[in-house]
Amino acid sequence: MGTRTPADTLRSRLAEQHIGVGDEVVVPAYCDGEIAAAVRDAGALPVFADIEPASLCLDPASVAIVLSERTAAMVPVHLFGHPADMVCLRALAQQHGLKVIEPDSGAAVSSVEVARRRQHAEFLSSRLTGVVVPFVAAGVRHVYEQYVVRVPGNGRPDRDAFKQALRARGVECRVPVRTPLHRLPEFRTDVWLPEAERAAGECLALPLDAAMSRRELQRIVSACNALGGLLVEPAC
């Protein structure tokens, strides 16, 4: 039997809550398209909300704006290992009588591996320049499923040029979410969600694995910092 994905779990939980045809389910516009597809597979309509610029997770204020009489649930995706603001989202759900359905993050990871990832992330975050390192909210334990930085400058052109330059130096980085869900052909919606748009143009996932050596981490730092001159720092 194959490993269940977060989308598989979401489909099951939507069915358990009897959410389907005629219902709307709020999902973040910046995440894996399989989440919105799972909502659609249940017969419900995915409605896209914006993200918080720091955590990259579902923004409660944006959720409040897109609610309607047909809204039945919200799906807070804990993106890249940073949890969404569940206190505010649950309070909003309670106020409007909505379900909060959290998809599983995926494969189970041992506490030892999470600890190693955190150590590696701290090493990178304390040494990287020229990129905006991952945000960690007070009191939050980031598990770093991915180590996602922002490349400042002129959005997508600078980020993609930075990615290609890193790859040329042997750093296997990648763009985690290239297009916000509301801009994909299968989900296209005429809404403006500026933080999701900006994240799609600026974010880049650097390699991070529990088994990485200090030498490998330093190689990432050296490659990134050597490219700092290619970037334009955003205006304050």
In the chain, the amino acid numbered 64 is A
- Which pLDDT value is given to residue 106? 59
Task: Name the percent of the chain lying above pLDDT 90.
Answer: 83
By the 8 A CB rule, do 38 and 11 touch?
yes
Is the model's pLDDT at 229 over the cut of 60?
Answer: no
Spatial CB neighbours of 72, under 8 Å, sequence gap ≥ 6: 17, 19, 23, 24, 25, 44, 98, 99
Is the model's pLDDT at 1 over the cut of 50?
Answer: no
Q: Is 127 exposed, middle or buried (0-12, 13-18, 19+ CB in 10 A)?
A: middle
At residue 104 the predicted structure's pLDDT band, cuts being 50, 70 and 90, is confident
Mean pLDDT of the region 201-225: 96
- Which pLDDT value is given to residue 233? 47
- Which pLDDT value is given to residue 155? 72
Region for 96 from its dihedrals, namely left if φ exceeds 0, alpha if ψ lies in -120 to 50, beta otherwise: alpha
Task: Name the percent of the chain lying above pLDDT 70.
Answer: 94
Is the model's pLDDT at 3 over the cut of 80?
Answer: no
Radius of gyration in angstroms for the set of CA atoms belonging to the chain, rounded to a whole number: 18
Is the model's pLDDT at 121 over the cut of 70?
Answer: yes
By the 8 A CB rule, do 135 and 55 touch?
yes
Mean pLDDT of the region 71-82: 95
Q: Model's pTM, two decimal places?
A: 0.90
Spatial CB neighbours of 151, under 8 Å, sequence gap ≥ 6: 131, 132, 158, 159, 162, 163, 202, 203, 204, 231
Token readout for 4 is 């269940």
- Which pLDDT value is given to residue 227? 87
- Which pLDDT value is given to residue 224? 93
Token readout for 94 is 């309670």
Token readout for 19 is 């959410």
**pLDDT tens column, 148-202:** 999 987 777 789 999 999 999 999 999 999 999 999 999 999 999 999 999 999 9
Please give the backbone phi and psi of residue 229, each rounded to the nearest 5 degrees, phi first.
-70, -15
